[in-house]
């Protein structure tokens, strides 16, 4: 059974800092991995999707990496802004079934 | 392109009452998912439809939960009777095809059972 762990559970940083969120998974037989953002009381917004054959994906200030063999992914956020404050969820796809971590709650203070 | 639509956004009911949630996926998306997200947890898949057929309902508590997607487009999820532990956000997602394609999520329905 796939298990996904996200560290840290919560993170508070001042505006402008670069930061890294971590995601680990137990079964490396995955098809892809998605990073989502969830604002309080809202649904999930897809940030980045990395196929299992890829090493990284970039979108603006976000960069996600994937090391399938070691069961790890990281989400790098450059020059953080208060608007980045949200919960970030990692989900691995074992063919149509997404298994989620519990998320990292990020607070960026002005 | 319109996103995944869900209604209602919020619902408060007493335990043992029934409730229904509605989802309209992105136009043309064949696969529809219902997830349950309990506070502080990641979403957990309840049921997956491919067109109007069920692909996976292994984690759906079938004694009280039911779901249908009769015409292969929109879907309803029902709980009857509700329990206190059903308090959660119910998320609907859709993807163009089954398998490895990206899933797109709706805003969710927050259910509170008193």
CA B15/CA B64 separation, integer angstroms:
12
pLDDT of residue B98: 63
Residue that the structure tokens 């995955």 belong to: A30
Q: Inter-chain contact A102–B40, Cβ cutoff 8 Å?
A: yes
Residue that the structure tokens 């529809």 belong to: B32
Q: Between residues B12 and B2, which one has the greater pLDDT? A: B12
pLDDT of residue B71: 85
Tell me: pLDDT of B1 over 70.
Answer: no
Q: Quick check: bond before A8 cis, omega within 30? A: yes
pLDDT of residue A40: 87
pLDDT of residue A75: 97
Task: Kindly state the DSSP code that residue B85 receives in the 8-state scheme.
Answer: G
Q: pLDDT by residue (tens digit) across B41-98? A: 999 999 999 988 999 999 999 999 999 998 889 999 999 999 999 999 999 999 987 6
pLDDT of residue B70: 81
Q: What are phi and psi of A107, to 5 degrees?
A: -125, 120
Residue B67's Cβ-count burial label (10 Å; 0-12, 13-18, 19+) is buried
Q: pLDDT by residue (tens digit) across B24-41? A: 999 989 999 999 999 989
Q: How many CA atoms does the CB half-sphere of A12 hold within 13 Å? A: 2
Q: Inter-chain contact A42–B108, Cβ cutoff 8 Å?
A: yes
- Residues in chain A with CB shorter than 8 Å from the CB of B5 are none
Q: Which of B100, B102, B109 to mutate to test the interface with A (most CBs of A within 10 A)?
A: B100
The residues with which B22 forms a beta bridge, in sequence order, are B7, B76
Tell me: pLDDT of B106 over 70.
Answer: yes
- State the 10-residue block means of pLDDT for chain A, 110 residues long: 94 96 94 93 90 94 95 97 97 86 96
CA B99/CA B103 separation, integer angstroms:
10
Compare all CA atoms of chain A with the CA of B3 and give the residue at the minimum distance. Answer: A45
pLDDT of residue B99: 61
Please check whether residue B94 is in contact with residue B101, taking contact to mean a CB–CB distance below 8 angstroms: no
**Cβ burial B85-103 (10 Å sphere, 16+ → b, else e):** ebbbbbbbbbbeebebbeb
Q: Inter-chain contact B103–A41, Cβ cutoff 8 Å?
A: no
- Residues in chain B with CB shorter than 8 Å from the CB of A98 are 33, 43, 45, 103
Q: Looking at chain B from residue 80 to 99, which residues have their Cβ under 8 Å from any Cβ of chain A? A: 91, 93, 95, 98-99
């Amino acid at each position: 059974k796939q298990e996904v762990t996200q560290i840290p559970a919560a993170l508070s940083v001042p505006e402008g800092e670069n930061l890294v969120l971590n995601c680990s998974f137990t079964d490396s037989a995955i098809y892809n991995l998605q990073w989502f953002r969830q604002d309080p009381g809202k649904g999930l917004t897809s940030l980045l999707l990395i196929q299992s054959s890829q090493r990284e994906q970039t979108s603006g200030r976000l960069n996600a990496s994937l090391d399938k063999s070691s069961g790890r992914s990281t989400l790098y956020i450059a020059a953080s802004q208060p608007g980045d404050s949200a919960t970030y969820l990692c989900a691995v796809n074992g063919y149509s079934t997404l298994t989620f971590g519990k998320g990292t709650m990020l607070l960026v203070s002005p | 392109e319109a996103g995944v639509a869900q209604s209602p956004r919020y619902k408060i009911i007493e335990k043992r009452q029934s409730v229904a949630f509605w989802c309209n996926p992105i136009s043309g998306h064949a696969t529809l998912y219902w997830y349950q997200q309990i506070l502080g947890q990641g979403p957990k898949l309840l049921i997956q439809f491919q067109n109007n057929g069920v692909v996976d309902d292994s984690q759906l508590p079938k004694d009280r939960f039911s779901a249908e997607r009769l015409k292969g487009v929109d879907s309803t999820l029902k709980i009857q009777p509700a329990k206190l532990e059903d308090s959660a956000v119910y998320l609907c997602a859709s993807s163009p095809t089954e398998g490895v394609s990206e899933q797109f999520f709706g805003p969710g329905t927050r259910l509170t059972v008193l």
